[in-house]
Amino acid sequence: MALTAAHLLPRVLSPGEIMGTLLPSWVAALDFNPECRIHAGTTDSIAAFFASGSRQPGQAVTSLGSTLVLKLLSERRVESVDHGIYSHRCGNMWLAGGASNCGAALLENIFGRKRLVSLSQAINPEIPSSLNYYPLPATGERFPICDPNLLPRLGPRPTDDVEYLHGLLESLARIEAHGYGLLETLGATPVTEIRTSGGGASNMVWQAIRQR
């Protein structure tokens, strides 16, 4: 006998869509304005994409936060379990991308936030680093390689932390480029522009390395 469970699931709404208002009991308990409205939310990376103003196919947003997240507005839907790539419907187009476990969280864990600033200022972003890492914070990766057993590659570590950070930033830039390359290979609209969000966006050396 077939069972219908649709009534047990929440309704799917568009980000920002009005869901309703607070119950009077919650208004009183939280001392909120009774006219306060509840809107449907979304993930931080999708919110960053919408906030960027990107509207045309080929425009992309990279979120440089604790993790590295890519979102590309594509005329075609792309999916790949092997690479952790998925697409969300976005109007009559698709928001394709994926999320790597690599990101700025590992950099802060290694160097600390204040030291990251001073070390970055000592890097010449025009000179490529010969170091090649896969800076995962722990075992397992989602995108652009979907492998729960993938091990971090954080060595060899040079004695100079400026050189080490340079190599890590270059490696993160390569992972980002690999991700966008995979999206195009799988049929997504080619990237025409990349905008950046997240805490890592304030690191101008990282931006210069990515642009190179």
How does pLDDT run across 166-175, given as a tens digit for each residue? 999 999 999 9
CA 142 to mean position of chain CA atoms: 12
Residue 3: what pLDDT? 61
- Bigger pLDDT: 16 vs 81: 81
* DSSP symbol at 82: T
- What is the β-pairing status of strands 86-90 and 68-74? unpaired
- For the chain, what percent of residues have pLDDT higher than 90? 90
From-to residues of CATH 3.30.420.40 in the chain: 53-211
Residue 104: what pLDDT? 95
Helices (H), the chain: 24-30, 44-51, 104-111, 113-121, 161-185, 204-211
Residue whose pair of structure tokens reads 């690479």 in the numeric block: 83
Amino acid at position 108, single letter: E
Amino acid at position 52, single letter: S
Give dist(CA 153, CA 3) in Å, integer: 48
- For the chain, what percent of residues have pLDDT higher than 70? 99
Mind listing the pLDDT tens digit for each residue in 121-157?
A: 999 999 999 999 999 999 999 999 999 999 999 999 9
Give dist(CA 171, CA 133) in Å, integer: 6
| 5, pLDDT greater than 80 | no
Return the closest-CA partner of residue 49 out of 59, 41, 39, 61: 61
Residue 11: what pLDDT? 83
Q: Report CA Rg, the chain.
A: 20
Residue 9: what pLDDT? 84
* DSSP symbol at 59: E
The model's pTM is: 0.88
Whole-Å CA distances, 6 to 10, 129, 155: 8, 53, 50
Q: In whole numbers, what is the pLDDT of the chain averaged over residues?
A: 94
Split at pLDDT 50, 70, 90, the class of 13 is confident
Burial profile 129-151: b = 16 or more Cβ within 10 angstroms, e = fewer: bebebbbbbeeebbbbbbeeeee
Query: Mean pLDDT throughout 158-164?
Result: 98
The domain made up of 53-211 has a fold known as: Nucleotidyltransferase; domain 5 (3.30.420)
